[in-house]
Amino acid sequence: MHVPDGFIDAPVSATTAVVAAGAVAVSLRGARRELGNERAAPLAGLVAAFVFAVQMLNFPVAGGTSGHLLGGALAAVLVGPCTGVLCVSVVLLMQAVLFADGGLTALGVNITCMALVTTVVAYALFRGLVKALPRTRRSVTAASFVAALVSVPASALAFTLIYAIGGTTDVAIGKVATAMVGVHLLIGLGEAVITTLTVGAVLSVRPDLVYGARGLGQRLKLRVNGELVDAPEPEPSHAPSHAPATARSPRGVWIAGLVASLVLAGGVSFYASGYPDGLEKVAADHGIDEKAEEHHAADSPLADYGVKDVENARLSGGLAGVIGVGATVVAGTGVFLVVRRRRAGDGTDASSPTDAHANARTNNDTSV
């Protein structure tokens, strides 16, 4: 659902750029809290690279249309909503600059619709469902499914509203809204399946790495006077831990995720559907694309996800995918390392996200 240049007029494009910049700024501050330890930045960078890879895998839906992962729900559940906005924003920036996918003047529109709206809608719905459902891993995966499903048509509706305000062609917005939401509801089913499978896979091996699963552990019950009551929280121990660092290292998950991303982008993407995606199909059917402009990076060596001058289509697309994954994981990890270091520099560092309150109590005790 990458919006090209020329769909939205200059004033509205500029306004959405301001909105997107504000969202990124707020997310940078929020990500400082979500990136709770030194290992979180590489994991967040990996999530960005994985989203990039899976976005290359267009899957067919009804009527000669295809869809692909947007990734807001997946990123929000895995690494947190603010970090999720940044993950998808990094992906969109890489795609626009390196691969001529999504207009440069429309970058604000794309970040607003595909990063901000999807992540906010998905995570708000996810948190509400998790609170209402039993505190189990199945609840996390079920909530992920629903959140991902709803986030895609919500993004489509957001684009329709933006087009109603600043569209460059005169079209029947009601028909566009119906077509956009309808086809993206189908695409949302694919998004929900991908999100659920990915979240479930990480939960099965390292549930402690899933941001959306924090705090879901069952409280110990004690029987008092014939009634079951919650056991009191244990006092945090301030003694240094002697557990081996490798016991909690996410290195295995990181390597597996990177390999999966490279395989998907470098090999599986060759078999992706060649049908136009939901926005392209609706734009062609309703005349939205009449004033579409050629991408400013159309002559890029990696434009259209192929390496220039490499004649073999499979090799060209595979190399482009591998380069994209590498560039995204480096850029994403770099951004999150900077955010993490600024957190530490502000004196708000904590050994882990769940230890923040314990560390605060420790500091208060030692200052007395």
| 22 domain-assigned | no
pLDDT tens digits for 309-350?
Answer: 999 999 999 999 999 999 999 999 999 999 988 766 665 544
| 232 domain-assigned | no
Helix-strand-coil split of the chain, %, nearest 5: 70, 5, 25
| 221 domain-assigned | no
Model confidence at 229, pLDDT cuts 50, 70, 90, reads low
Q: Does residue 365 have a pLDDT over 90? A: no
The three-class DSSP label of residue 365 is: helix
Question: In sequence order, which residues have a C-beta less than 8 Å from that of residue 25 and are 6 or more positions away?
Answer: none
| 178 domain-assigned | yes
Question: In sequence order, which residues have a C-beta less than 8 Å from that of residue 40 and are 6 or more positions away?
Answer: 34, 79, 336, 340
Q: Does residue 255 have a pLDDT over 70? A: yes
| 364 domain-assigned | no
Mean pLDDT value of segment 12-29: 97
Burial (CB count within 10 angstroms: exposed 0-12, middle 13-18, buried 19+), residue 302: buried
Q: Does residue 114 have a pLDDT over 50? A: yes
| 328 domain-assigned | yes
Q: Does residue 65 have a pLDDT over 80? A: yes
Domain of residue 46, CATH code: 1.10.1760.20
Q: Does residue 367 have a pLDDT over 50? A: no
Arithmetic mean of pLDDT over the chain: 88
Mean pLDDT value of segment 99-108: 96
Q: Does residue 92 have a pLDDT over 90? A: yes
| 244 domain-assigned | no
Mean pLDDT value of segment 33-52: 89
Model confidence at 224, pLDDT cuts 50, 70, 90, reads low
| 103 domain-assigned | yes
Total number of domains constituting the chain = 1
| Structural domain containing residue 42 | 37-216+250-348
